[in-house]
């Protein structure tokens, strides 16, 4: 069987562990048992100390760390500079794709879709968008009024019509519509994409990364005096 060349791509803060980075570590442990899949993790990192891109082998996979500009947001929102930045990144990593076939770009951060599309314009490959969390729900921490308005649209007064307000940016929309496949970690995430995007979507899979939410009815009984033990995982933020 011909090997699959899998390129995982994400954007993160140096020195912090998020649900996505923990997921990536778990995924890599599983992929290490698949000899027919060659894995390279392209890590675009916000860092004030790491200034030089670096390629190294970690166990059975390659990791390519690329420092991000200190002010990335203006680049993402301005198409001209976004394209220029993507061309620079591709120049750095172009050699990784030489003589490779069966190439898959697996993006774990939605705002990397334009980089993935740029690579796809140069390399014969497929793009997978992996939706780890619903972007508009992050508004709870920084703009609760906007969050409450979208929450009402999504859950309090829902309709069968597409609600374009639920998709917050053009690059988020491209992540859902221009990928070759979409992976959601919950049924809720898949429902959101179908509700917030007009037109055709790529094939979509739901692969839970923890407890599933497939609307199964459960009956849990307990005594009133029984202590409930809660294990909390996540950032200490109002949204969590």
Domain limits, the chain: 4-206
Q: What is the pLDDT of residues 33-66, one digit of tens each?
A: 999 999 999 999 998 888 899 999 999 999 999 9
DSSP 8-state secondary structure symbol assigned to residue 69 = P
* 79 close to 90: Cβ distance less than 8 angstroms: no
**Who has greater pLDDT, 233 or 216?**
233
| Res. 238 pLDDT band, cuts 50 70 90 | confident
The Cα-based distances of 214 to 130, 187, 188, 217, 240 in angstroms read: 18, 6, 9, 9, 21
* 96 close to 64: Cβ distance less than 8 angstroms: yes
DSSP 8-state secondary structure symbol assigned to residue 152 = I
CATH says 4-206 is which class?
Answer: alpha beta
Task: Choose from 8-22, 118-132, 133-147, 225-239 the range with maximum mean pLDDT.
Answer: 118-132
- Residues 6 or more apart in contact with residue 31 via CB below 8 angstroms: 6, 37, 39, 60, 61
Instruction: Determine whether 8 is exposed, middle or buried from the number of CB atoms within 10 Å of its CB (0-12, 13-18, 19+).
Output: buried
pTM: 0.88
How confident is the prediction for the chain on average, in pLDDT?
90
Nearest to 23 by CA among 10, 34, 14: 10
| Res. 215 pLDDT band, cuts 50 70 90 | low
How many Cβ atoms from other residues are within 10 Å of residue 129's Cβ? 28
Q: Span 127-153, mean pLDDT?
A: 94
């Amino acid at each position: 069987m011909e090997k699959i060349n899998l390129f995982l791509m994400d954007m993160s803060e140096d020195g912090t562990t998020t649900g996505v980075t923990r997921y990536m570590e778990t995924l890599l442990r599983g992929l290490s048992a698949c000899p027919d899949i060659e894995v390279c993790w392209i890590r675009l990192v916000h860092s004030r100390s790491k200034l030089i891109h670096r390629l190294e082998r970690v166990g059975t996979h390659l990791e390519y760390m690329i420092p991000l500009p200190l002010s990335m947001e203006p680049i993402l929102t301005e198409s001209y500079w976004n394209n220029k930045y993507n061309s620079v990144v591709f120049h750095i990593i172009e050699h990784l794709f030489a003589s490779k076939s069966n190439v898959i770009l697996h993006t774990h951060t939605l705002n990397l879709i334009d980089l993935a599309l740029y690579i796809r314009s140069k390399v014969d490959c497929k793009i997978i968008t992996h939706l780890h969390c619903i972007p508009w729900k992050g508004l709870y921490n920084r703009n609760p009024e906007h969050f409450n308005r979208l929450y009402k649209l999504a859950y309090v007064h829902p309709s069968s019509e597409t609600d374009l307000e639920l998709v917050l940016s053009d690059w988020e929309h491209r992540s859902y519509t221009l990928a070759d496949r979409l992976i959601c970690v919950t049924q809720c995430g898949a429902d959101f994409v179908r509700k917030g995007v007009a037109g055709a979507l790529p094939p979509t899979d739901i692969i839970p990364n923890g407890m599933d939410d497939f609307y199964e009815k459960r009956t849990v009984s307990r005594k009133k005096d029984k202590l409930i033990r809660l294990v909390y995982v996540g950032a200490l933020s109002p949204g969590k």
